[in-house]
Amino acid sequence: MNRRDFVATTLATAGLGSLPLAASAIAQESSSTEIKPFKLKYAPTLGMFRNHAGNDPIDNIKFCHDQGFRAVFENGMMGKSAEEQEKIAKTLADLKMDLGPFVLYADFGKASMVYKSGSVKDMLVNLMKKGIECAKRCNSKQALLVPGRYDQSMEWGYQTANVIDNLRYCMEICEPANMVLVLEPLNPHDHSGLFLTKMPQAYEICRAVNSPCCKIVDDIYHQQITEGNIIPNIDRSWSEIGAFHLGDNPGRREPTTGEINYRNIFAHIYKKGYQGVLCMEHGLSKGGKEGEQALLAAYRWCDDFEV
């Protein structure tokens, strides 16, 4: 059975014992059978299952755990209160779950890190300190950074050198705290004018910074649009990849809704020994509980690869 037929059959038979275990548990809204954890640490965003778990982040974490997930992520973690950050961290620790990278800096509106200036350095130093405070409260290991826009009036090589120097300033603060910055290349079709767009470019920068705390988040949705060649680029950039973002193309919805063969990609990542988080940074192809069932069924199908 192919992936789309699998998902369609799952939804058509919702509530029957022939469902994959996760989807069956959702359809029945209760189950005495423990659901098998996924092979990889796919990480729903908090609120992704609001139709089943409500809006409370703690309830969402517990629900995700019950469905076999062993990680979550929340881009907006820095905007939450210290009290809520600590509650989230405690719940994750109790359930032995990981937290994916939160957004530390992603200003799409201006050029910043392509400049070498005291004001940019001061901004980054202050930001790193705030990020480390958040990471400690959340028990998080990674924070996400987008270097901002490029400057059309400056030679590209100078801009690259300035980004590298600015990241080295960041590493002076991140390394003692053991907080890893993951740099995200984004596609120029959705986000025109940004400096960082491709995996080879991010790889080159990380190698130049030469720090264990400067890595890449490989957003497979973005990279399918920008350059494709997903698995070879994973292999070539492997030493510098710190996390993954997921989403099918076109549409940026759950795997199996587009052209990306996530089942093969997940199998490849698993066989390489990846132990980190894969953030489910995408929408759902359907609304309501039906859409959340489809999401679970899609991930169960993609995770059903041979090991």
Q: Do residues 268 and 231 make contact, with C-beta atoms less than 8 angstroms apart? A: yes
11 and 85 belong to one structural domain: no
Q: Which structural domain range is residue 28 located in?
A: 1-36
Closest listed residue to residue 66, CA positions, set 29, 109, 110: 29
28 and 128 belong to one structural domain: no
32 and 57 belong to one structural domain: no
Residue 257 within any structural domain of the chain:
yes
Q: Do residues 233 and 269 make contact, with C-beta atoms less than 8 angstroms apart? A: no
126 and 63 belong to one structural domain: yes
For residue range 176-206, list pLDDT tens digits in order.
Answer: 999 999 999 999 999 999 999 999 999 999 9
216 and 109 belong to one structural domain: yes
2 and 86 belong to one structural domain: no
Residue 299 within any structural domain of the chain:
no
CATH, residue 187: 3.20.20.150
DSSP lists the bridge partners of residue 142 as: 180
178 and 193 belong to one structural domain: yes
Residue 293 within any structural domain of the chain:
no
76 and 89 belong to one structural domain: yes
84 and 121 belong to one structural domain: yes
For residue range 219-229, list pLDDT tens digits in order.
Answer: 999 999 999 99
Residue 145 within any structural domain of the chain:
yes
Q: Do residues 115 and 151 make contact, with C-beta atoms less than 8 angstroms apart? A: yes
Residue 102 φ/ψ, nearest 5 degrees: -95, 160
Residue 169 within any structural domain of the chain:
yes
Residue 238 within any structural domain of the chain:
no
For residue range 116-146, list pLDDT tens digits in order.
Answer: 999 999 999 999 999 999 999 999 999 999 9
45 and 24 belong to one structural domain: no
> What SS3 string covers 105-160?
EECCCCECCCCCCHHHHHHHHHHHHHHHHHHHHHCCCEEEEECEECCCCCCHHHHH
Coil, strand or helix at 41: strand
11 and 111 belong to one structural domain: no
Residue 294 within any structural domain of the chain:
no
21 and 145 belong to one structural domain: no
Q: What is the pLDDT of residue 34?
A: 78
Give the residues of the chain that fall short of pLDDT 70.
1-33
Q: What is the pLDDT of residue 7?
A: 47
Q: What is the pLDDT of residue 33?
A: 65
Query: Count of domains in the chain?
Result: 2
Q: What is the pTM of this model?
A: 0.90
